[in-house]
Amino acid sequence: LKVGGSVQITASHNPAVYNGLKISRKGALPVGENSGLRDLEDMVYNGTVTITKSPGKVVDKPVKDAYLDFLRAYVPDLTELDLSIDLSHGMANLLAKDLLGEHHHYLYDHFDGTFPAHEPNPLEEENCKDIKAAVLENKSDVGVIFDGDADRVMFIDEKGRFIQPDYITAVIGEYFLAKKKGNVLQDIRTSRSTTEYLEKLGGRVTTWKVGHSYAKTKMKEIDAIFGGELAGHYYFKDFNNCDSGMLAALIVLQVVAKLHAQGKTFSSLIDTIVTYANSGETNFKLQQKDEAMAALYQKYAVEQTPLAVLDFDGYRIEFADWWFNVRKSNTEPYLRLVAEARTEALLAEKVGEISRIIKSFS
């Protein structure tokens, strides 16, 4: 459209009463807390409003067909695949059947902003029960589930297992690295399994802060070919460094179709990627978040000798056989913990140890 900015009305995976504005400036760069949003807030509350003498005009510009044309270049041959797809009563309904066809096993395939079936947040296991059951009942090769505004997507393998989204970063990263070696962006919570898998393929992996405004800006800064987050956001150089749940889904379906043609399953690829025991993200609701983080830093970064300490989004403290990240939520009153270790036993030991420290501040 060659415009100087954009505004999207969305509540993401939340009910409509939480609708807000997602703002971008020229070049599709996000306007976030540290990149213009505070300036806008100051202008709204303290600026002087001057009514123009020559008002502009509103022009309707349909973009759906152009977006579909862009996405169709990524649609694989799906004739041999059995797919179960949960559209979560959300915006994926606008595109899914145009791209994938009508004949798959669709769940909640009409718009309903009250989201009667389940909260449109596939990161919560409770919301994936129906798609898991559908995959097993239909003997599908893969299950796909979108969030409410379809900027995120997550996957279920043919065994009915939810695939942790940072492992999908490895799947999509491999797709792009096979075409051209380059930089890949991951967030600070990402599994070592993913990092090591991508590095073996020739990827140069950069770790950065959690959040779309940080990711999109860093993607452009390092000229990344692709980026992924634990929350299920996937960012593409070929899509102006922006995230698209539908584009991510199409690329994963390409991978699954190729595996199927080789007589392989989606789960076999995931099992190749995953080489560490991972806790997933655990939330602790407490008031003394800063004090808890300081105590963890003292114990693990000061009193011990870690291999590395990343401190740009909470702390990620790395040891030879395990690591953890603890960070404050940007949007909720939680302290979030992710940990990973070479063995389940070591993981259980460290998660228990860290959890006790955190809970002592509740």
Q: Which residues are catalytic?
A: 12
Q: Give the CA distances from residue 307 to residues 185, 287, 310, 325, 351, in Å, rounded to whole numbers and listed in that order.
A: 21, 30, 10, 14, 19
Report the C-alpha gap between 336 and 326 in whole angstroms. 6
Structure letter (DSSP) for residue 164: P
- Secondary structure of residue 234 in the 3-state scheme: strand
CB 170 within 8 A of CB 197: yes
Report the C-alpha gap between 188 and 325 in whole angstroms. 7
- Secondary structure of residue 332 in the 3-state scheme: coil
For residue 286, give every residue at least 6 positions away whose Cβ sits within 8 Å of its Cβ, in sequence order, or none.
292, 335, 358, 359, 361, 362
